[in-house]
């Protein structure tokens, strides 16, 4: 039930992900005359808001778990979707979308992965792959759903209402009913292990189940903490930019909007398979090296997107980039637990989020400014490929820190 609920959370959080706003972009340009950069600014404001609030949210996830963080976030997101369906001015897009996005990427998604990372240790990478499929399914379904609903109704406002229904049904109810913080809270153990023998130490006080258990202060003294934060920041800058701009780029390349949305559906569907494959490989290898390979593949994939001027080439991009991106997304969410253990995972991850969410916020907006002025995606997409390779290099330079059990 924990895994299924986390899956539902990652699925419903996609309503505020970049590809979905990318489908609305051209309609908003036509309806209000807003530029691509102005629309992408909503992502930037939302990312900044997520960055500012993420350390506190990380603490809240460690303290109370995902039940209230996910459920409460989904309720506020639903209110924001009503506002977006009725907006008439740019400030309303920036306000409602920013709040919804901040909760989707800064609260719902982290809480879902922190939850399953608390419930699993040996099976963590594989379970993360399963939960990551939720976001891939959402990215496969929502852009196409929005495009079809808008085409059928003749109004982009109906697209927001369709997302509202999904958020209420999938995002609010399951976490409030089924999500729990840690197995120890229910007298259970991670991975479904049998209970400790009578008289054994309290499982809640036995961090030796993990190879590594770091506090934030201890993590700050490791090289891995700094290189990991550096690398993931570049991933979020480039990955968020590609996700938002892939649909506008494909439309600029001559593909109809419905075909461009279909390419995102293929990319996301394949990404779900990539998440499962990445989780399976990481279980046998390591999260670190599996991510290195995935990032190298993403660098090649984004260059395919640059030259995608036909449906055939776009499909090749969707498959190649989708597989590697899906694996990266799944493993990116549990890599902190893999490096630093479970107990302070939300706080350690949250300490990096201001920079990472800031990078994720700036990327789509900066890319939109460049395209508005030059009319070309060539330079940004090449830069994104370089950023993915830089992130891979940072992971290569980030060996797992070791800590003697009971140290400190």
User: Can you list the domains of the chain with their CATH numbers?
Assistant: 2-185+208-396 (1.20.1250.20)
Summary mean pLDDT of the chain: 84
Centroid of chain to Cα 27: 25
What distance in Å separates the CA atoms of residue 397 and residue 92, rounded to the nearest whole number?
43
Q: What is the pLDDT of residues 6-19, one digit of tens each?
A: 999 999 999 998 77
Of 170, 181, 158, nearest to 104 by C-alpha is: 170
Higher pLDDT, 89 or 348: 89
Mapped onto helix, strand or coil, the DSSP state of residue 189 is: coil
246: Cα within 13 Å, side-chain hemisphere: 34
Mapped onto helix, strand or coil, the DSSP state of residue 405 is: coil
Of 329, 334, 363, 356, nearest to 346 by C-alpha is: 334
Tally Cβ neighbours within 10 Å of residue 49: 20
pLDDT of 181 reads 78
pLDDT of 387 reads 95
What distance in Å separates the CA atoms of residue 361 and residue 314, rounded to the nearest whole number?
26
Q: How confident is the model at residue 197 (pLDDT cuts 50, 70, 90)?
A: low
Higher pLDDT, 312 or 285: 312
What is the four-CA torsion angle of 138, 31, 40, 142, rounded to 10 degrees?
0
pLDDT of 164 reads 95
Residue found under tokens 């991670």:
190
74: Cα within 13 Å, side-chain hemisphere: 33
When pLDDT is averaged across residues 288-309 and rounded to a whole number, the result is: 93
């Amino acid at each position: 039930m924990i895994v299924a609920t986390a899956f539902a959370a990652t699925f419903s959080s996609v309503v505020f992900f970049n590809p979905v706003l990318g489908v609305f972009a051209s309609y908003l340009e036509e309806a209000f005359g807003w530029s691509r950069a102005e629309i992408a600014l909503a992502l930037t404001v939302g990312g900044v808001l997520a960055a500012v609030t993420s350390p506190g949210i990380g603490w809240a996830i460690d303290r109370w778990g995902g039940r209230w963080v996910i459920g409460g976030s989904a309720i506020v997101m639903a209110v924001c979707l009503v506002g977006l369906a009725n907006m008439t001015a740019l400030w309303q897009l920036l306000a409602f979308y920013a709040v919804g996005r901040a909760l989707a990427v800064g609260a719902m998604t982290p809480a879902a992965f922190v939850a399953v990372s608390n419930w699993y240790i040996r099976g963590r990478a594989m379970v993360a792959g399963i939960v990551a499929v939720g976001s891939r399914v959402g990215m496969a379904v929502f852009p196409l759903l929005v495009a079809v609903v808008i085409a059928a109704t003749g109004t982009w406002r109906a697209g927001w209402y369709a997302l509202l229904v999904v958020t209420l049904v999938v995002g609010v109810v399951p976490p409030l009913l089924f999500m729990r913080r840690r197995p120890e809270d229910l007298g259970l153990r991670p991975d479904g292990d049998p209970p400790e023998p009578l008289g054994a130490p309290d499982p809640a006080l036995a961090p030796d189940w993990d190879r590594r258990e770091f506090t934030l202060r201890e993590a700050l003294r490791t090289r891995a903490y700094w290189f990991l934060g550096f690398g993931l920041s570049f991933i979020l800058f480039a990955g968020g930019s590609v996700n938002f701009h892939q649909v506008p780029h494909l439309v600029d390349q001559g593909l109809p909007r419905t075909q461009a949305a279909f390419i995102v559906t293929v990319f996301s569907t394949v990404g779900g398979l990539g998440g499962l494959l990445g989780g399976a490989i990481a279980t046998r290898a390591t999260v670190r090296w599996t991510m290195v390979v995935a990032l190298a593949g993403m660098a090649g994939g984004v260059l395919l997107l640059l030259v995608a001027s036909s449906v055939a080439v776009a499909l090749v991009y969707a498959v190649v980039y989708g597989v590697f991106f899906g694996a990266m997304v799944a493993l990116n969410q549990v890599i902190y637990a893999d490096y630093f253990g479970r107990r302070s995972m939300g706080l350690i991850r949250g300490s990096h989020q201001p920079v990472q969410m800031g990078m994720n916020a700036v990327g789509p907006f900066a890319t939109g400014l460049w395209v508005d002025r030059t009319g070309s995606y060539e330079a940004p997409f090449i830069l994104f490929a370089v950023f993915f390779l830089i992130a891979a290099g940072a992971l290569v330079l980030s060996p797992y820190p070791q800590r003697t059990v009971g140290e400190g």
